[in-house]
Structure 1
Amino acid sequence: MAQNRYKKLMGNTLIFAIGTFSSKVLVFLMLPYYTNILSTGEYGTVDALINVGQLMIPIASVGINNAVIRFGLEKGTDKSSVFSSGLYTILAGFVCLAVVSPILTLFMDFMSGYTIAVLAFVLASSLRTLCVQFALSMGYNKMYAANGIANTFLNVILNILLLPHFRIMGYLLANILADVATGLLMFVLAKEHRYLISPMSRKMDRGLSKRMRKYALPLVPQTVCQWIINMSDRYMIIFFINTQANGLYAAATKIPNILLVVANLFADAWQISAVKESDPKEQVAFFSKVLGAYSSIAFIGSSGLIMISKVVMTFMVGKDFFISWRYIPVLTLGTTFGLLATFLASVYMLRLKSRNSMVTTMICAVVNIVLNCILIPVLGNNFGAFWGAMGAGIATFISYFVLFLIRAFDTQKYLKIQWNIKKTLVSVVILFVQALIMTAEVPFWFVLVPALFVLLAAINAREILLSVNKLLRRG
C-alpha cells in the first residue's frame, strides 16, 4: 500500500509535468516577444490589469473552486452537487461583481477603458477553472494536463495574432478567448453536462453545498491576502514611482516564476495524494519524506536561478528591461519560502483548517503592506526609482519568510512533520548570502556565487537521493 501511494504520487506528477511543463516553458519563452512589442509602460499596465483580474476571481467565485477539488476528491460525495454548487456560486458572484464594477475605475485609473475586458477575463477564467478542477477530481488526470497544453498554445497563437494590432487589449482578448475555448473543450470531453442539476432540484445535496461554502469562504480573504503579498507591490510601485518601474519589476518576476511552474506540477499531484491518504500514522511519514525532497529541490533550484539571473536576462527580455535582472535574487528568495509555506498549507487542506490558512496569510499580508509603504518610498526617494522597486522585492521576501515560519510551527498542532532543522538552516543562510553577493556584484562574484551553489547542492543532494530511494524501494 505504501509503495503504491508513493508511486501514484510520482506517476501523477510525471503526467502533469509532461502535460504542463512544456506549455509553461512556451509562455516563458514568449517574454522576449512581449517586451519587444510593448513598451515598459504598456507592459506594466498589462501586468496590472491581469493581476487585478486574478484578484477578482476568488472574490467573485467566493473561492468555490477550492472546494470543488477538495470535496470532489472525497469518496461518497454527490458529484452532481459538487459541480452544480460550484457553477451557480460562480455565476451569482459574477453578477454581484458586474454590478459594482463601475466603482473600480475610481480607485484604479489604469482600468479605464478595460473594465468590460477584465470582467470577461474573470468569468472565463473562473468557469474554465471549475471545469478543469472538477475533471481532475474525477480522475481525468491526462485530460487535465492536455487541457493545460491546449490553453497555453492557443493563448500564444492569439497573442501573436492580436498583440501587434491591439496592444494591451490584444493581450486581454488572447487570455479570454483561450480560456473560453479550452473551458468548453473540457466541459464537453469530460461530459460534465451529466453533473448539471437545477439549484431547486431535490437531488441537490444542500448539506454538502453548505459544507463547501463553509470551507471556501475563509479561503477568499486568504486568497486576497495572498494576492496582496504577490501583487500589491506592483500597484504600490505604480503609486509611489511609475508604470515604467513596474514594467521592469514585472519582467523580473517571470524568472522566479519558473520555480512556481515546477512546484505547481507537483502540487496538482500532491493535493490528490494528500487528501486520499487516510492513515494518521502514515500521514506523518508521508508528509515528512515528501517535504524532505521537496525542500531540497526548492533550495537547489533557487540557488541555480540566482546564479544565472544576469545571464538569462541578456536573451530573455528587450534591452530596455535588462537592468531588471538585479531584482531576481531577492524575488527568488521570496518565491522559495512561498513554495515551502504553500506545501505546509496542504496540512490545513487535509484537516479542513481553512481558517488557519486564512489567518496566517493575513498576518503575512499585513507585514507585506507595512514594509512596502516604508521601503518603496524610502529607497526610491534616497536612491532612485529603480531601488524603490527593489524595496518591494525585499518586502515580498520578508513577508514570505514570516509566513513560512508561522506555518512551520502552527502545522505541528495538526501533523507532526519531521524537519531536518540543521540542513534547512544552513541552506537558508547559503541562499541568502548568495543572493546578496549576486545583487551587489561584489568582487569575484562570478566565482563566489557558483561556489555557493555547489556547496548548497552538495548539502541537499544526499536528502534527495535518500528520499527518492525510500520512495522507490520501501515507501
Structure 2
Amino acid sequence: MKQSYLSLASDTFVFAAGNMLTKLIQFFLLPMYTALLTTEQYGVGELVNNMSELLYPMCCLGIYEGVFRYAVDRDSNKREVFSSSFSVSLALVPVVAAVGVAGYSLTGFDYTWYLVALCLASSFRAVCMQFAKGLGMTKLYAASGVASTLALCILGYLLLGVFGSGVSGYLTALLVSQLLQIVIVAYGARIWRYFSPRAVDGSLIRMLLRYSLPMIPNALAWWFVNLSGRYVVLFAEGAAVAGLYTAASKLPAVMNMVVTIFQQAWQIFSAREYSSGDRDESFGTVLRVFSSALLCAGSLVIALTNPLSQIMLSGEFYEARLFVPLLMLGAVMNGYSTYFGTLYNAAKQNGMIFVTTLVGALANIAVGVMLSGFVGAWGPIIGAVVAYALISLLRAFDTRKLVRVWIDIVYQAVGLCALFAEVIILSLDIPSATVIALGVSAVLIIFTAVRYQDTWKRIVGLLKEGR
C-alpha cells in the first residue's frame, strides 16, 4: 500500500504541475477575452462552447469513460480496448454530421458548424486522452493540456486582437487547440500502434458501452448543474448580465483546478486499489487529506476574491466580483461529489452516479428558476451550490455500500462554516472584507494543521521513504 500512496503522490504532482501551468496560461485568457470582446460576443461564444461540452459525449456514446477504466486494468488487452472504442467513435461521425445538417436547416444558427466540429474534436480528444492516462502516461496527458492551452492563448490573441474575428475567432481558437492536443497525444503515445481493425471486439464493445452509457445522461445532468444557470440568466436578465455571470464563473477555475488535479490521480489510485483488502482505511486517509486541502485552498481563494477580480475582470466586468465567493463555495462542494463519484467508477457501478447527478440537476433548475425572479443572477448561483451539496450528501451515504469511509463530521462542519462566513463577508462587500476573510482562512488552516498533524507526519514519512 505504501507504493500505492507514493504513486498517488507522484501522479498528483504530475497533474498538479500540468494543471498549474495550464491555469497560469489561462490566467491571461479571461482578461484578454473581456478586453477584446463585448459582453454579448463573449456570452454567445461561451454558450456555443458550453453546448459542445453538453453534446460531445453523445457523439461517441461516452465510450471514453470505459476506455480509461478498462485500459487501466493490468490484465487488459490495450489494443482491443483502443481499437474497439476508436471504431465506435469513427462510426458515429456521419451521424453527427447528419444531425448538424438537420440542425442548421431548422435553425439557421450561424455557428452550427463550429458546434459540430467542436463536438467531434472533443469526442476524439477524450478517447485519446483517457487511453493515454489508462496506459499510465500521466506526463504526456498533462503536457498536452499545457501545449493546447498555450496554443489557445496565442491563437486567441491573433484572431481577436490582430484580426478582430469576434465570435468566429474565439471558436476557431478553441477548435484548433483541441486538434493540436489530439496530435500531441497520438504522437507521444504512438497511439496508432494500438489500432487495428482486426482487434475490434464486439463483446468488449458491449462491455465498454455498458460501463459508459450511464455516464451520458450523467454528463447531461452534470452540464445542467454546472452551466444551466447561464441560460437562466440569459433568458431572465439578458445577454449582458449573462456575460457578467459567465465571466464571474471563470474565476472559480482555481478551485476547479484543485479538484481536477485530485480527480485525475484519484481515478487511477481507486481503480487499482479497489480490490485491495485495506481499501476502507486507505480511501479514508485519502478523503481526510483531500478534504482538508480542498477546504483550506477554498478558504484562501475565496478570501482573495477581490484582488483576483481586480486582475482578471476588466472594465464593466468588474461588478461581477460579488458573484465570485458563492461560485467558489460551489466549486468546493463539487470537490466532495467528485471524491464519492469516483468510487462508483472504481467499482464499475455507474448507475447511481447518474441518479445522484439527476437529483442535483433538478434541484439546481428548480431553485435557480424560482429564485431568479427575486434575486436575479444570484438565483442560479444559489441553485448550483444547493445542487453540489445535495449530490455530495447522496453519494456519501450511497457509496457506504461499496466502501466504508470514515468521515470527520466535526472538521467538515468547522471548515464549511468558515467558508460560509467568508462568502457572506465578501458578498456584502463590507469594509476590510478581504482582511477579515484572510483572518478566517488563517484560523481554518491552523485548525487543520493541528487536528490532522498525525496524518501529515505519516504522509511526510512515506514520501521521505520513497525518495
| TM bucket, shorter chain | over 0.9
- The Cα offsets for residues 399-433 of structure 1, whole Å up to 9 and x where unpaired, read as 11111111111111110001111110111122112
Query: Which secondary structure does the structure 1 equivalent of 2:336 belong to?
Result: helix
Please give the residue correspondences for 1:70-149 in structure 2 after superposition, counting only pairs within 5 Å.
Answer: 70-102=69-101, 104=103, 112-149=109-146
Q: Contact 2:306/2:434 (CA < 8 Å) preserved in 1?
A: no
Q: Contact 2:59/2:89 (CA < 8 Å) preserved in 1?
A: yes
Query: Which secondary structure does the structure 2 equivalent of 1:177 belong to?
Result: helix
User: Corresponding residue for 2:284?
Assistant: 288
User: Corresponding residue for 1:383?
Assistant: none
Please give the residue correspondences for 1:4-403 in structure 2 after superposition, counting only pairs within 5 Å.
Answer: 4-102=3-101, 104=103, 112-164=109-161, 165-198=164-197, 201=198, 203-379=199-375, 388-403=376-391
User: Corresponding residue for 2:433?
Assistant: 445
CA–CA distance in 2 between the matches of 1:398 and 1:41? 28
CA–CA distance in 1 between the matches of 2:147 and 2:374? 45
Would the alpha carbon gap of residues 113 and 361 (structure 1) be closer, same or farther in structure 2, given more than 3 Å must change? Answer: same
Matched, 1:408 2:396: yes
Q: Alpha-carbon deviation of 1:159?
A: 0.9
Q: Contact 1:7/1:471 (CA < 8 Å) preserved in 2?
A: no
The one-letter amino acid paired with 2:304 is I
CA–CA distance in 2 between the matches of 1:377 and 1:317? 26
Would the alpha carbon gap of residues 104 and 193 (structure 1) be closer, same or farther in structure 2, given more than 3 Å must change? Answer: same
Q: Alpha-carbon deviation of 1:370?
A: 0.7
Q: Alpha-carbon deviation of 1:185?
A: 2.6
Deviates more, 1:74-83 or 1:327-336: 74-83
Query: Which secondary structure does the structure 2 equivalent of 1:75 belong to?
Result: coil
- The Cα offsets for residues 65-89 of structure 1, whole Å up to 9 and x where unpaired, read as 1111111101222212211222122
- The Cα offsets for residues 107-142 of structure 1, whole Å up to 9 and x where unpaired, read as 9x7x82100011111111221221122112112222
Q: Alpha-carbon deviation of 1:352?
A: 0.9
Matched, 1:471 2:459: yes
* TM-score, normalised via structure 2 length: 0.94
Q: Can you give the 5+ residue segments of structure 1 that lack an aligned partner in the other structure?
A: 380-387
The one-letter amino acid paired with 1:217 is L
User: Corresponding residue for 2:444?
Assistant: 456
CA–CA distance in 2 between the matches of 1:316 and 1:67? 37
Would the alpha carbon gap of residues 400 and 103 (structure 1) be closer, same or farther in structure 2, given more than 3 Å must change? Answer: farther
The one-letter amino acid paired with 2:149 is T
Q: Contact 2:304/2:434 (CA < 8 Å) preserved in 1?
A: no
Q: Contact 2:6/2:462 (CA < 8 Å) preserved in 1?
A: no
Q: Contact 1:290/1:467 (CA < 8 Å) preserved in 2?
A: no
Would the alpha carbon gap of residues 93 and 373 (structure 1) be closer, same or farther in structure 2, given more than 3 Å must change? Answer: farther
The one-letter amino acid paired with 1:90 is S
Matched, 1:424 2:408: no
Q: Alpha-carbon deviation of 1:26?
A: 0.8
The one-letter amino acid paired with 2:95 is C
* TM-score, normalised via structure 1 length: 0.93
Query: Which secondary structure does the structure 2 equivalent of 1:429 belong to?
Result: helix
Deviates more, 1:445-454 or 1:316-325: 445-454
Would the alpha carbon gap of residues 437 and 96 (structure 1) be closer, same or farther in structure 2, given more than 3 Å must change? Answer: same
Query: Which secondary structure does the structure 1 equivalent of 2:61 belong to?
Result: coil
CA–CA distance in 2 between the matches of 1:419 and 1:94? 45
CA–CA distance in 1 between the matches of 2:212 and 2:275? 25
- Among the aligned pairs, what percent are the same residue? 29
Would the alpha carbon gap of residues 166 and 204 (structure 1) be closer, same or farther in structure 2, given more than 3 Å must change? Answer: same
The one-letter amino acid paired with 2:382 is I
Would the alpha carbon gap of residues 155 and 443 (structure 1) be closer, same or farther in structure 2, given more than 3 Å must change? Answer: closer
Query: Which secondary structure does the structure 2 equivalent of 1:281 belong to?
Result: coil
Q: Contact 1:3/1:473 (CA < 8 Å) preserved in 2?
A: no
Q: Contact 2:21/2:146 (CA < 8 Å) preserved in 1?
A: yes
User: Number of matched residues?
Assistant: 461
The one-letter amino acid paired with 2:39 is T
Q: Alpha-carbon deviation of 1:98?
A: 2.7
CA–CA distance in 2 between the matches of 1:364 and 1:93? 30
User: Corresponding residue for 1:382?
Assistant: none
CA–CA distance in 1 between the matches of 2:275 and 2:182? 36
CA–CA distance in 2 between the matches of 1:415 and 1:114? 46
CA–CA distance in 2 between the matches of 1:120 and 1:226? 22
Q: Alpha-carbon deviation of 1:265?
A: 1.9
Q: Alpha-carbon deviation of 1:20?
A: 3.0
- The Cα offsets for residues 267-289 of structure 1, whole Å up to 9 and x where unpaired, read as 22221111111444321111111
The one-letter amino acid paired with 2:335 is L
Q: Alpha-carbon deviation of 1:328?
A: 0.7
CA–CA distance in 1 between the matches of 2:222 and 2:368? 15
Q: Can you give the 5+ residue segments of structure 2 that lack an aligned partner in the other structure?
A: none
Would the alpha carbon gap of residues 105 and 231 (structure 1) be closer, same or farther in structure 2, given more than 3 Å must change? Answer: farther
Q: Alpha-carbon deviation of 1:170?
A: 0.7
Q: Alpha-carbon deviation of 1:445?
A: 3.4
The one-letter amino acid paired with 1:45 is V
Would the alpha carbon gap of residues 389 and 102 (structure 1) be closer, same or farther in structure 2, given more than 3 Å must change? Answer: farther
